[in-house]
Amino acid sequence: MRSERAYVAGLYKRLDAERARVKGEFEAALAGKAVSPMERDVEVRARAREMKRLDVADNGLCFGRLDAITGEHSYVGRIGLFDETNEYEPVLLDWRAPAARPFYVATGANPENMRRRRQFHTRGRQVLDFTDEVLGRPGDHERGDAALLAAVNAPRGEGMRDIVATIQAEQDEIIRLDHPGVLVIEGGPGTGKTVVALHRVAYLMYTQRERMERHGVLVVGPNPAFLNHIGQVLPSLGESDVVFMTPGDLVPGLRVTAEDPPEAARLKGSLKMLDVLKAAVADRQQLPDEPLPIQLKDVTVRIDAATAEWARDEARASGLPHNEARATFVEIVTYVLTERAIGRIGKGWLTRSDKEGWEDMRKGLLKELADDDSFTAALDQLWPVLTPETLLAPLYSSAERLRAAGADQSLFRENGDAWTVSDVPLLDELVDLIGPDKAADDAAAQATKKEQQAEAEYAANVLDSLINRQEHMDDEDHLFATDLLRAEDLADRFVEEDTRDLVERASADRDWTYRHVVVDEAQELSEMDWRVLMRRCPGKSFTVVGDLAQRRAPAGATSWGTMLEPYVPGRWVYRSLTVNYRTPAEIMAVAASVLAEFAPGVQPPESVRSNGVQPWSRQVTEAGLAAAIDEFVRDEAGREGTSVVIGPPGVPGTIPASDTKGLEYDAVLVVNPDEILADGPRGAAELYVALTRATQRLGVLHQGPLPRVMAGLTELDTAIA
């Protein structure tokens, strides 16, 4: 024990030395004078990332040791450290390094050329004790893991924890899988599919650093609570170039959480909406019912239906998006009107041979048309400049427009711009169908440039003020050099086009493309959602996480192949996780009876443990329900860990099961399960989700008889009236 403590203490000493070195390089980069501001910014960011990587290693820096049959041994930890005198000699293996893999996959039957695995139990920087597992003994086929059982039995905190010290063999195989396309990880509740996907991202960012770091990774989760829950896993592994979004965030500037009624959500999620959107755009390309008069100085010309139809046909035939095709429409209409005007004005004195007179008159007419408000208004009426919002909102709020686009009338709503999550992929699709509004984009660019200039002037004034202050200071006054450096850095960074970090830039840019995308609760995504995500990752490198049995979205996946084959035919692979690390066997037995009712062909995951705590139920009256919920909340407040009350819509003090997807709690109280079951066609899946959130304790309150599918609960005799 003494030698292990001394070795780990030496690792922390090496870590502190690395931190000091990188901090010095960071400060030198910050003060650099011989490089351009952009080069300095890149160097500063690189050193800052390195400091973050070293900072996350303090807790559990080294968690194990491998002893090879050759007599050599290696230490395994959160990051890699190298000998101070030999940068090629590791003193600590990064858990992602190939040499560290036996720590996770070696068993008695397959020792991977190892004779012993040692796991440290630490607190802070101190090694408390360790557990040894001898490998290679006949008859030993499974990995014994006291650390795993300690982790799964520990009280839950406010967020998901990494599992870097307790990765199991089936999880490690998925984390390190070398597949360039789409990997689908399916597993029932508690199988760790989310945390495995996040560790896979950390592994890819370690093995493909150069490829990944310039474009980053996108992680898509079902709701903000879920993203908050998982948000610290990757930073705890030293990876920060990751953008977290929900499906309602995928269009910059929108943060949508509202949901449509089931039928509207089903319709909007179908690929048939592509035809509706194209028809809705075409419907805004109008022909005049009556000729539109344009009064010029010497003549009145008219845009008639024949002219508009010719211009419309040519514009559509260009194949350009709506806003860009407007130029063709305007060009043809302008040509017709100028020809007609010249013919009338020059009749009797201007001939075709008089090219100079002809061109002079044309130039004058073109200027008149460009300055004429009625001409601009006519063009806007016949071929308006659109945005996704100004196309979709009027479509929803007009039964006539819906009919013209061939859309179902169930999509009608009074407030057309009351956006829902199902609208987000449609708005994103319209960006490509409609094209940019050049005038608006130019105005925005000018405004941004003006704002940057103002900020640069402010930063320069700050710098001048500090320099002047330094020049007039008394000896006893103090002005730190870092004050000047920060002010100068503030001024310099505004001369560059964009010095925001990757997460900021990617989140604000609809056209940003990622090197890898993780999609959690992927069974909830519609066909239209998948089009958005595939656009975000041209390389089609995905880790897809889900459980078809837990699907609640009407437009969600019924099979992985249906969703993925159109985009990556033959380039997606499927892996399943079968061990439940979260839910005790006692609770899983209750959930399994619900699963058998609505998905009889699905095998529930096998729980890794039994905790001896029997899930219970209690019947209450309507008047006693609130008191029973309060009693549960009070009892759990006195325990370590987390708890939640899940119920059907409208029950005070509860949250819906859909808001807890992917989350876990030490204790769960499910209220009125019969109402959850009855809430729509996917009510049984909702109840299954609710029952499988608990890691220790499960209770059920019911007013009527318990649903027959809920077997395995111990009914308490005490009732609350």
Sort 699 into a burial class: Cβ within 10 Å, 0-12 / 13-18 / 19+. Answer: buried
- Rounded (to 5) percent helix, strand, coil in the chain: 45, 15, 40
Q: Which two tokens stand for residue 384?
A: 């308006």
191 labelled binding-site residue:
yes
Amino acid letter, residue 671: V
558 labelled binding-site residue:
no
| Helix H or strand E encompassing 668 | strand 665-671
189 labelled binding-site residue:
yes
Residues 524 and 662: their CA atoms lie apart, in Å, by 12
187 labelled binding-site residue:
yes
Contact 112, 102 (CB under 8 A): yes
Phi–psi pair at 207, nearest 5 degrees: -85, -20
Residue in the block written with tokens 């500090």: 466
Q: 117: closest CA among 91, 144, 96?
A: 144
641 dihedral zone (left: phi>0; alpha: psi -120 to 50; beta)? left
Residues 475 and 466: their CA atoms lie apart, in Å, by 16
**Which alpha helices (DSSP H) does 540-651 contain, by range?**
560-564, 585-598, 625-637
DSSP assignment of 62-127:
EEEEEEETTS-EEEEESS-EE-SS-TTSEEEEETTSGGGTHHHH--SS--TTEEEEEEEEEETTEE
Q: Is 503 helix (H, G, I), strand (E, B) or coil?
A: helix
Phi–psi pair at 253, nearest 5 degrees: 95, -15
159 labelled binding-site residue:
no
190 labelled binding-site residue:
yes
Amino acid letter, residue 691: L
**Which of the 8 DSSP states describes residue 287?**
-
Residues 231 and 194: their CA atoms lie apart, in Å, by 12
Residue stretches of the annotated binding site for ATP: 187-194
